[in-house]
C-alpha cells in the first residue's frame, strides 16, 4: 500500500498520498515489522540508481547497525515486504493503476 501511495505516477506532479482519503489498512500485532521496514529504507538503489529489493546482507547490516534482534522469519518477512513494495512501486507508475486493496462493500 505504501508503494502505491508514495509512487509518483507517470506524468503526475504529486504522489497519491497527497490526495488519498480512504486511509490505510491497520497492520496490527506486526506493526513493529512495518516500522523496521521503513527504517531499512524499504528498497535499495544500486550504484547505477536502479532500485532493488532488500536482501539478507542488507538485513544483516541493519541488525549490526541497530543491535535489533530479529528471528529468521522476521528477516524473511522484511525481504518479502521489500519485493512486494518494489513490484507495487513499478506497477503504481501507471496513472490508471488501481489501489492494491479495496474494502469490501456491503449493503
Q: Is pTM, for the whole model, over 0.75?
A: no
Residue 81: Cβ within 10 Å count: 21
46 against 8, higher pLDDT: 46
> In the chain, what is the straight-line distance between the N-terminal and C-terminal CA atoms, in Å?
26
pLDDT at 61: 95
> 95 with 11: CB under 8 angstroms?
yes
- Model pLDDT for residues 95-105, shown as the tens digit of each residue: 787 776 654 44
- Model pLDDT for residues 14-72, shown as the tens digit of each residue: 666 666 555 555 667 788 888 899 899 999 998 898 999 999 999 999 999 999 999 99
462493500: which residue's cell?
105
pLDDT at 59: 96
Amino acid at each position: 500500500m505504501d508503494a502505491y501511495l508514495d509512487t509518483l505516477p507517470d506524468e503526475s506532479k504529486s504522489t497519491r498520498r497527497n490526495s488519498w482519503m480512504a486511509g490505510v489498512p491497520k497492520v496490527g500485532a506486526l506493526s513493529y515489522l512495518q516500522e523496521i521496514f521503513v527504517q531499512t529504507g524499504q528498497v535499495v538503489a544500486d550504484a547505477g540508481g536502479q532500485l532493488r529489493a532488500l536482501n539478507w546482507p542488507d538485513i544483516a547490516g541493519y541488525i549490526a547497525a541497530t543491535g535489533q534482534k530479529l528471528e529468521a522469519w522476521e528477516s524473511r518477512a522484511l525481504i518479502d515486504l521489500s519485493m512486494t513494495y518494489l513490484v507495487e512501486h513499478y506497477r503504481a507508475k501507471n496513472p490508471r493503476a488501481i489501489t492494491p486493496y479495496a474494502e469490501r462493500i456491503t449493503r
